[in-house]
Structure 1
């Protein structure tokens, strides 16, 4: 499987290392805003422009940069390759998402949302489940938000409402919330609560989903933060890549 990476941050760098050390995986390209240096892993694969010729020799492209990448490049990528979207906020716009899904189906491709911070995605995304209600709460220290909260000295609820609204306000902070909503009751019917707490040095994520049969799934997790993401994110995305390469994925469209 030939894999292209968009973004060379912590997640992108971790994926490059995994691809270069795994039999059966080849690095097709790394799209960045600047040329790679000789000190970086596999600088010869670095490109600053995405071309159809490059995509034609790629099986899977992993977006690990920003939600805007999905809007700019998503449709063209799906004409040639599967697309794994790390920045799930890029799929919040319904018209854009429907257009991308239609493109994926037309070309026999898939849009894949990786596990990331969302433990339990397999159970949420099971095609046999119908969810009646869903809510998700994220508590993080103020320095882990982009943009940062106006008041960094006291705990405060930054948002309480539908996931669609919090994705517009904090597009780089709520990928797990968007993935959770798309896997359960949708962006408008899934409740999101985002809390800034200066007393915290880690982050906590809790969700609850109730099925039509009354069954309930609850998950709670804590993890240290690296920038705006949890410390487990690079490994979690790499795990999703390995599952995808083996034929298994969590939440996908197409």
Structure 2
């Protein structure tokens, strides 16, 4: 009789909408999926009361090694990736839910080195990026020449570090907020451009400076986020995709991205010592 695969212990860092979804999903479906909770941490632990058993609440993130997580999942803020990413990789595989943090070249190299040194995997979820694996294949063959990701959302869905939106009216329609390299866009909109960051990981030969991005405010998008990806290869090869991701007014993350993230989590095993788009 074949042995039952070992259950992966999952640490959840952050308890916003995505963190809540993953916590509830593991509690509900984790046994069948081979996952169980090692801990849940949130900057405000009061938010965990009634939602997470007290024995699973991690009160200090510095104490994460004591919980023995096989995979740590960050779903809160790029600063956590900067402050704890290398530490996480010294003990566990690390699924980074804020890959926009990797636009910092020094941090990117630090985490890649930590993954290789400790034999752990830095997992990057594809999120709302459609065709990420195909982009990565094209990249690995050396035939990826250009990549553009355009993200269009209702203005209420943006969380920007700079006041690019300014005053807006409900009937103003479409407005390009910023167009440029993903390296330049990530620090301005770290909570909105993780799809762009995943594209930059998939297209690593272009990287964050070579992959282009556009953020578009569109008041007509009351029910969807729109993600357009334009891929260019050699000899006239092109692919263009348009993804309509259902989302409520004001939502940073589209509805379909939650299940995509869950699917990514299920892949977090057996890829040690490297960066892996999942």
TM-score greater than 0.5 by the shorter chain: yes
1:30 paired residue among 23, 34, 40? 40
Matched, 1:17 2:24: yes
Corresponding residue number in structure 2 for 1:8: 15
Q: Tell me how far apart the structure 2 counterparts of residues 53 and 114 of structure 1 sit (CA, whole Å).
A: 22
Q: Tell me how far apart the structure 1 counterparts of residues 215 and 49 of structure 2 sit (CA, whole Å).
A: 41
Matched, 1:199 2:220: yes
Between Structure 1 and Structure 2, whose CA radius of gyration is higher? 2
CA positional deviation for 1:122: 1.5
SS in 2 for 1:22: helix
Corresponding residue number in structure 2 for 1:59: 70
Q: Tell me how far apart the structure 2 counterparts of residues 136 and 53 of structure 1 sit (CA, whole Å).
A: 35
The 5-angstrom pairing of residues 85-100 of structure 1 reads 85-100=96-111
CA positional deviation for 1:119: 1.6
Q: CA 1:43–1:213 in 2, change beyond 3 Å: closer, same or farther? A: farther
Matched, 1:143 2:150: no
Per the normalisation by structure 1, the TM-score is: 0.91
Segments of 5+ residues of structure 2 without an aligned counterpart are 1-7
1:222 paired residue among 233, 244, 262? 244
Matched, 1:188 2:200: no
Q: Tell me how far apart the structure 2 counterparts of residues 225 and 239 of structure 1 sit (CA, whole Å).
A: 19
SS in 2 for 1:188: helix
Corresponding residue number in structure 2 for 1:42: 53
Q: Tell me how far apart the structure 2 counterparts of residues 137 and 239 of structure 1 sit (CA, whole Å).
A: 24
Contact 1:129 1:211 in 2 (8 A): no
SS in 2 for 1:252: strand
Corresponding residue number in structure 1 for 2:3: none
1:164 paired residue among 172, 183, 187? 183
SS in 2 for 1:236: helix
CA positional deviation for 1:214: 3.9
CA positional deviation for 1:215: 2.7
Q: CA 1:183–1:55 in 2, change beyond 3 Å: closer, same or farther? A: farther
Q: CA 1:120–1:42 in 2, change beyond 3 Å: closer, same or farther? A: farther
What is the CA RMSD across the aligned residues, in angstroms?
A: 2.2
Q: Which has the higher helix share?
A: 2
Q: Tell me how far apart the structure 1 counterparts of residues 9 and 26 of structure 2 sit (CA, whole Å).
A: 9
CA positional deviation for 1:128: 3.5
Contact 1:69 1:90 in 2 (8 A): no
The 5-angstrom pairing of residues 107-126 of structure 1 reads 107-126=118-137
SS in 2 for 1:229: coil
Per the normalisation by structure 2, the TM-score is: 0.84
